[in-house]
Structure 1
Amino acid sequence: MSTTSTTGTTTAVARAPGARAASGAGVRAYLAHAAGKLGGAAVSLIAVLVTSFFLFRIIPGDPVKAMTHGVPTSAEQMATLRRQFGLDQPLWQQFTDYCAKALTGDLGMSYQFRAPVGDLILQKVPATLLLTGTAVLLYSAIGLWLGTRSAWRHGSLGDRVNTGVALTLWSVPSFWLGLLLIITFSVGIGPIPGMFPTGGMESGNETGLAHVLDVAHHMVLPVITLVAVGYAQTLLVMRSSLLDEMGSDYLTTARAKGLRDDAVRRRHAVPNALLPTVTMVFINLGHVAAGSILVETVFSWPGLGGLFYQALSVPDLPLVQGLFVVFAGAMIVMNLLADLLYPLLDPRVGR
């Protein structure tokens, strides 16, 4: 009796260091994976800073002439404006000044609004987060649900209908769909009356609960536009990933153990099919910060997308550059979070 107990204790003690070593190796592998991804994200952000400066310098047009269009302006006044905005400096000096300020969080002064770019962006962020955040949550949930059902019942009538509708909507330009919804449900066509506002975020004369309902009323058409175009991609990717998993041996083993079909799908198939979809969901979350330039412009939504369109029309170089950095930075951060999440979902990643 004592011999068996001693042997068991000895075995447990012998196994403990091996288990700790394996755990430590896993942590070191994850930290190495995370360090590599963080380094790649830092390099990408630097590349974004460089690209944002030179990319928009090739846009035709003189910002000073655009700002003074229709206003009698002397040559001396034009020169003063160029000096005030630093446009009289050599390109290399403009670049070094831009990078030095950007690294400290100073994105410059807007030409047309005569206000700090950072303040202008912060003013528009809530509207963009409200609109695109709501849309991303809705179409990610709808796409995951419908994609899972379509794959699990592939070849059925429901699968064919879902896939056909998704492919059709994925190919539809968002601005065209938005204009179609405005014509149909805002202006009214035939027996369909105009039920929703043509644009904007609020009527401007409501308070309290009435204001909340007014904003929700203005959100209906732009959210439907974003959801209709966005859910299709999530559905198709989730369906494809799950179809790849459905022929795996571990699902056959799970069924052989007596698990119900719903349990096999929920506990085994779907978690293993999520990796490609996780990437897409995080990219979509990156779009929350960027907004949708076309949809916000069509519906006159006062968010970052509409602000970017206004900045391009001048061109307001500091504002365009600042928005580009915010948009690209949001995408880089979300991709980084997805990369850091992968090893937690699948331990094989990063090993």
Structure 2
Amino acid sequence: MTAESTPALVHSAEADGPDTAGPSAGRGPRARNTKAYLRYAAGKIVGAAVSLFAVLVTSFFLFRLIPSDPVKHMTGGRPVSSEQLENLRREFGLDQPMWQQFLDYIGDALSGDFGMSYQFHAPVMDKITAALPATLLLTGTAFLLFTALGLFLGTRTAWRHGSRSDRFNSALALTLYSVPSFWLGLLLIIVFSVGIGPIPGLFPTGGLESGGETGFAYVIDVAHHMILPVITLVAVGYAQTLLVMRSSLLDEMGSDYLTTARAKGLRDDVVRRRHAVPNAMLPTFTLMFVNLGHVVAGQILVETVFSWPGLGGLFYEALAGPDLPLVQALFFLFAAAVILANTLADVLYPLLDPRVGR
């Protein structure tokens, strides 16, 4: 085994053996590998489509178990006659039998129409479109930061396992990974927004902007509001990435190919960067795509704690109704983002590890 080849990244052509005689001689192994990959990818895509439809069905029935009358919630507690309540039910199709409501919901959803919001009296997709940029800004920024930080620290701690820095970083990551994100967010608000003891309130308690700012001042204002929620998301997210990366790299460090690489005289940082880390990245690669799916879903509790005007906060408001069309659409969107991200990871995984999908 050479230092340039590793167990996870070795090309699969050698395992296929020599080609048999025939018209496809000379390209048989590659053709077979391509067909196997296409079958594997097609199976994953079909599985994702089935999962999406199952989520669509589940989203209809799940939130109808909530013990609340959405029509009465729409009246805001004002006294209304039974005739007015019946007119509202007829307007939103709630007077139809459950099976008819279900068929209408599936048909409209498959065409991209999730109906009108009970609470906001606006198309559901308009509300989602308006809130999506705020969620992508917050969770997207946090995703990039905690992924980079988790990969860097996970690699360093594993390569120096047993050291003081390894023990400190591992203990801190385990602690942060166990802390509920909403509790950490509340703690940061108390300490750094409200102020406690000698620490003054430095950051806003919530929201996306203060209002009235334009141009570069607006960018600074939004960044100022993002600091605490981003810190909350990064603190929890980086801990998970660090722990997975550290565990994966520790599993690789005793492998024979690393011993061979060192025996050839390669420097320790080259062995780590070129050989150990690429193989240890495989489990972390899946985790990264799972977290990428959560970028769209956001962190419902974190957005609620910081009054962030994104999809997470919108979902919390919709649940209070319940605003059935909005809740159903957001639930489907959150689940779809995770399913699609996982499917993309599954489809790309064989490109990093040819043994997968064969």
TM-score range, shorter chain: over 0.9
Q: Deviations over 1:250-274 (max 9, x none)?
A: 1111111111111111111111111
Q: Deviations over 1:45-66 (max 9, x none)?
A: 0100011001101011000111
Structure 2: gaps (5+ residues)? 1-20
Q: In the TM superposition, what is the alpha-carbon distance from 1:69 to its structure 2 partner?
A: 3.0
Taking the TM superposition and a 5 Å limit, the aligned residue runs for 1:262-301 are: 262-301=269-308
- The answer to whether the aligner puts 1:57 opposite 2:64 as a matched pair is yes
Structure 1: gaps (5+ residues)? 1-13
CA–CA separation in structure 2 for the residues paired with 1:60 and 1:241: 45
- The answer to whether the aligner puts 1:76 opposite 2:89 as a matched pair is no
CA–CA separation in structure 1 for the residues paired with 2:257 and 2:67: 59
Number of aligned residues: 338
CA–CA separation in structure 2 for the residues paired with 1:17 and 1:99: 47
Counting aligned pairs with the same residue, the percent is 75
CA–CA separation in structure 2 for the residues paired with 1:248 and 1:61: 58
> Paired residue for 2:168?
161
> Paired residue for 1:10?
none
The secondary structure found in structure 1 opposite 2:294 is helix
> Paired residue for 1:98?
105
More helix by share: 1
> Paired residue for 2:181?
174
> Paired residue for 1:190?
197
> Paired residue for 2:355?
348
> Paired residue for 2:125?
118
> Paired residue for 1:232?
239
- The answer to whether the aligner puts 1:321 opposite 2:325 as a matched pair is no
- The answer to whether the aligner puts 1:137 opposite 2:144 as a matched pair is yes
Q: Deviations over 1:222-281 (max 9, x none)?
A: 000000011110000111111111111111111111111111111111111111111110
CA–CA separation in structure 2 for the residues paired with 1:149 and 1:19: 44
- The answer to whether the aligner puts 1:89 opposite 2:90 as a matched pair is no
Runs (4+) of structure 1 exceeding 2 A deviation are: 14-19
The secondary structure found in structure 2 opposite 1:321 is helix
CA–CA separation in structure 2 for the residues paired with 1:96 and 1:241: 47
Code of the residue aligned with 2:113 in structure 1: it is D
Q: In the TM superposition, what is the alpha-carbon distance from 1:22 to its structure 2 partner?
A: 1.2
Q: In the TM superposition, what is the alpha-carbon distance from 1:72 to its structure 2 partner?
A: 2.2
1:214 paired residue among 208, 221, 233: 221
Code of the residue aligned with 2:181 in structure 1: it is S
Q: In the TM superposition, what is the alpha-carbon distance from 1:178 to its structure 2 partner?
A: 0.5
RMSD: 1.3
Q: In the TM superposition, what is the alpha-carbon distance from 1:16 to its structure 2 partner?
A: 11
CA–CA separation in structure 2 for the residues paired with 1:143 and 1:153: 15
